[in-house]
Amino acid sequence: MGQQQLLLIILGVIIVGIAVAVGITMFQDNAVDQNRSAVISDLTTLAAKGQQYYAKPTTLGGGGNSFVGLSADSVGLGLLASSAFTNNANGTYTIKTAGTATTLVFRGVGKTALTDGTFPTYDMTVTFQTQLPTKVN
């Protein structure tokens, strides 16, 4: 009878261990999914600000139907958003490709690590009419 009880205890510990491991994996997957969604949401906000810049006349501090004034550095990004927004709990955002007359590309890098140690990364290509997110990682 003692051996049977010992085997049941060992079996119970194994089952609980497997359940904990599955729970941790599910939690991590959910955290990554939430971070991906948050990065895309922030990039959409930046894209809308870029489109506002495009449509605003140059006399009012806009691009006058061009993205050219948005350089791929902190100065260009500073015209659209504060540093508190461009480096927040969701991720870090930059202008990947300086604005041209018709196109602007943002990059967002999430802050929740993937299983391979990298971070969720998306590019957002913006024109005066469209916003197109692209998964990089």
Tokens 């009419």 found at: 129
What are the Cα distances from residue 103, in Å, to 26, 28, 50? 38, 35, 10
pLDDT of residue 102: 95
pTM: predicted TM-score of the whole model, two decimal places: 0.81
pLDDT higher than threshold 90 for residue 23: no
Which secondary structure element, helix H or strand E, spans residue 105, and what is its range? strand 104-110
pLDDT digits (tens, 9 = 90+) for 50-62: 999 999 999 999 9
pLDDT of residue 79: 93
| Amino acid letter for position 126 | V
CA distance 108 to 60: 28
Tokens (6 digits) for 99: 């604005």
Least confident of 13-22, 23-32, 92-101, 126-135: 23-32
Residues 64 and 57: beta-carbon distance below 8 Å: yes
Could you tell me the residue ranges of all domains in the chain? 2-135
